Chain A
Amino acid sequence: MQDPDIPPLWVGCAAGFSGDRTDAAAPVVQALIASGQPACLIFETLAERTLALAQLARREQPEAGYEPLLPELLEPVLADCLAHGIRIVSNFGAAHPEGAARCIQQMAQRLGLRAPRMAVVHGDDVSGGAHQAALRQALGAGAYPQAPVVSANAYIGARAIAEALQAGADIVVCGRVSDPSLTLGPAMAHFGWAWDDWDRLARATMAGHLLECGAQVTGGYFADPGFKEVAGMAQLGYPIAVIEASGDCTITKPPGTGGLVSERTVKEQLLYEVHDPAAYLTPDVIADLTLAQVHQVGPDAVRLRGVRGHAHNGHYKVNVCYAAGWLAEGEISYAGPRALARAQLAGEVLRERLGHARDLRLDWIGVASVLGDDAGRWRHAQGQPSTGGSEPQDVRLRAAWLRPDKDQAQRLPREVNALYTCGPAGGGGVRTGLRARLGTVSCLLPQAQVPVGWRWQPPLNEPEAA
């Protein structure tokens, strides 16, 4: 069925999370143009909590709710993408895909470009009343949040993206979709594979998996001096997957950029956030990595092959986010002789002032701050660090406390501040923070119960005559 002469599809990824570098796209787009091949650009900007934060932003300001950095991400490359037929697919719509689409339309108008054909994918938002009974049933009575639900979104698949591209969309704006579907959608539209061609779906899905965290496959999050050297980290090149008609792909990056693509960088990212490698679950396909191989096929070029696929499980994963109290944090530093003893005393004072709170977490930054769990078991297992001649000289106490309401939580920053005058000698550099916390519960909904699709974004109104 597949035409072996179909040229490969080049998919570039210019963002791996909300808040990623905004100057990554230009070199990727230049490389896509230079390839002379069919190409697509994706931005992945939605982590687990990002969508709930976007819902909160939209409540404050009805026009908001999409990726706040969208203008910075897209403006440098929009003209080139439209001029060279490079399609753009992204989940930067977050909680407000129509708002993101309008922002892009206005951007094109402002830049004097032709109006892009914009498609908006819908169906991921299952926070409405229509889905509530199904969510309650899926989560079980005990797990459905008591606190107000902020967002409920299904990780939908590649089909709506593929259909919109096949209909001629220049840009496809999504909210929550499974991250690899951002790549599988364009591959489906380009190659015309059947939706049950599980091996090919799985291969393109893993290409998407390698792309979805941006520079994490091109030397970002990899460097370890003396063990894993990475040149040019300040100018990392973001990844490009060259996907073949078989679904196998080669990962590379734009010439002249920093970073590297090696078997090691690709292996680390291939297993990132994977659990059972025989069953990497997406709404489109179940990918099996057990026979996957990676081979360096050129400088900064690694080919992935051997991925196999199986039918998906017919469900969407749904994340339900809810208001989960307030996280209060405070820090203060102690230095020089007996720094740790004074920082520990400050912690004891804090604990007593907060009613001997057992759920107060205390860390000693510079001694033990991230390896331990909240109960402090790791630190206790290590024993006292201040033995021998290596007594720590620079220790920062950090306290963290989660309270259901803001007024209660506010007590922690106040008490940390008061350590200036009431705490041990020589404390300095107090910083405090207080922010709303979001909780998440997950469940599965049958795909048949979640209507998914796409629609054209209506054109902007003609500007009024002056």
Chain B
Amino acid sequence: MSHDHPPQQVPLYRLAHGRTGDKGNRSNISLIAWNAHCWPVLVAQATPGRVAAHFAARQPTAVHRYLLEPLQAMNWVLDGVLDGGVNDALNLDSHGKALSYWLLQMPVEVPPALLPHLAPA
């Protein structure tokens, strides 16, 4: 990448959409690239380490990323982030349904050439 065109920081929701599901104390969040241009940057930027750090306040015991290349999508599995799950948590959102939008808020860096292919700011 040229130094004349430094990467730009954008929220993940400009590259992808997603949905949360839950089972017990485990949350899964899909991240689906808006288009083929976004996919490789998504793979490079949404890494297990970054996502684990983004969810640090939920203290995940494990963070797994599964890539689904033909769908240009990835599936995140976060263990231990639901305070025991729907039956145990005191959270209003005991399923953790809102967590997909927390992930979509995560800042990532994209090359300027990708900007025309991103969802609106």
CA separation between A198 and B84, bound complex, in Å? 34
Q: Are A370 and B30 in contact (CB under 8 A)?
A: no
Interface residues of A in 254-302 (CB under 8 A from B): 264, 267-278, 289-294
Interface residues of B in 66-96 (CB under 8 A from A): 66, 68, 70-71, 73, 75, 77, 81, 83, 85-93
Q: Are A377 and B23 in contact (CB under 8 A)?
A: no
Select from chain B the residue with minimum beta-carbon distance to A362. B90
Q: Which of B13, B22, B68 has the most CB of A within 10 A?
A: B68
Distance between A401 CB and nearest chain B CB, rounded to angstroms:
7
A195 within 8 Å of B (CB atoms):
no
Contact residue among A274, A306, A324, A373 (Cβ-Cβ distance under 8 Å from B91): A373
Q: Are A270 and B71 in contact (CB under 8 A)?
A: yes
Beyond A268-B17, A374-B90, A439-B88, whether A294 also contacts B102 by CB under 8 A is no
- Chain A residue numbers with a CB within 8 Å of B86 are 48-49
B58 within 8 Å of A (CB atoms):
yes
B57 within 8 Å of A (CB atoms):
yes
CA separation between A38 and B77, bound complex, in Å? 38
Interface residues of B in 16-51 (CB under 8 A from A): 17-19, 21-24, 26, 28, 30, 32
A226 within 8 Å of B (CB atoms):
yes
B8 within 8 Å of A (CB atoms):
no
B9 within 8 Å of A (CB atoms):
no
Q: Are B90 and A275 in contact (CB under 8 A)?
A: no
Q: Which of B30, B87, B92 has the most CB of A within 10 A?
A: B87
- Chain A residue numbers with a CB within 8 Å of B98 are 370-371
A440 within 8 Å of B (CB atoms):
yes
Beyond A289-B68, A381-B57, whether A274 also contacts B21 by CB under 8 A is yes
Q: Are A292 and B71 in contact (CB under 8 A)?
A: yes
Q: Are A273 and B87 in contact (CB under 8 A)?
A: no
Beyond A267-B32, A267-B71, A378-B57, whether A370 also contacts B17 by CB under 8 A is no
CA separation between A384 and B102, bound complex, in Å? 19
CA separation between A327 and B89, bound complex, in Å? 10
A358 within 8 Å of B (CB atoms):
no
Q: Are B66 and A276 in contact (CB under 8 A)?
A: yes
Select from chain A the residue with minimum beta-carbon distance to B70. A293
CA separation between A442 and B84, bound complex, in Å? 13
The size of the chain A interface, using a CB distance under 8 A, is 52
- Chain B residue numbers with a CB within 8 Å of A373 are 57-59, 81, 83, 91
Q: Are B87 and A271 in contact (CB under 8 A)?
A: no
A398 within 8 Å of B (CB atoms):
yes
- Chain A residue numbers with a CB within 8 Å of B17 are 224, 227-228, 264, 268
Q: Are A277 and B19 in contact (CB under 8 A)?
A: no
CA separation between A278 and B98, bound complex, in Å? 26
Beyond A370-B93, A440-B87, whether A268 also contacts B70 by CB under 8 A is no
Beyond A268-B17, A277-B66, A290-B68, whether A398 also contacts B92 by CB under 8 A is yes
Q: Are B91 and A361 in contact (CB under 8 A)?
A: yes
CA separation between A289 and B77, bound complex, in Å? 15
CA separation between A372 and B88, bound complex, in Å? 15
Distance between B48 CB and nearest chain A CB, rounded to angstroms:
14
Q: Are A226 and B120 in contact (CB under 8 A)?
A: yes
CA separation between A222 and B32, bound complex, in Å? 13
Contact residue among B68, B75, B119 (Cβ-Cβ distance under 8 Å from A227): B119
A160 within 8 Å of B (CB atoms):
no
As a 0/1 sequence over residues 401 to 433 of chain A, the CB contacts with chain B under 8 angstroms (1 = contact) are 110000000000000000000000000000000
CA separation between A339 and B62, bound complex, in Å? 38
CA separation between A370 and B99, bound complex, in Å? 9
Beyond A264-B17, A277-B75, A374-B83, whether A271 also contacts B30 by CB under 8 A is yes
CA separation between A224 and B24, bound complex, in Å? 27
Q: Are B58 and A378 in contact (CB under 8 A)?
A: yes
Distance between A420 CB and nearest chain B CB, rounded to angstroms:
22
Contact residue among A278, A294, A401 (Cβ-Cβ distance under 8 Å from B90): A401
- Chain A residue numbers with a CB within 8 Å of B93 are 370
Q: Are A370 and B91 in contact (CB under 8 A)?
A: yes
Select from chain B the residue with minimum beta-carbon distance to A377. B57
Q: Are B32 and A294 in contact (CB under 8 A)?
A: no
- Chain B residue numbers with a CB within 8 Å of A442 are 24
A22 within 8 Å of B (CB atoms):
no
Distance between B71 CB and nearest chain A CB, rounded to angstroms:
5
User: Could you tell me which B residues sit within 8 Å of A by CB distance?
Assistant: 13, 17-19, 21-24, 26, 28, 30, 32, 56-59, 64, 66, 68, 70-71, 73, 75, 77, 81, 83, 85-93, 98-99, 102, 119-120
User: Could you tell me which A residues sit within 8 Å of B by CB distance?
Assistant: 48-49, 221-222, 224, 226-228, 264, 267-278, 289-294, 306, 324, 327, 361, 363, 365, 369-374, 377-378, 380-381, 398, 400-402, 437-440, 442
Shortest beta-carbon contacts, A-B, top 7:
A273-B21, A271-B30, A361-B90, A378-B57, A370-B93, A400-B90, A377-B57
Q: List 10 A-B contacts (CB under 8 A).
A: A49-B86, A272-B30, A273-B28, A278-B66, A290-B70, A292-B71, A306-B70, A324-B87, A373-B59, A440-B85
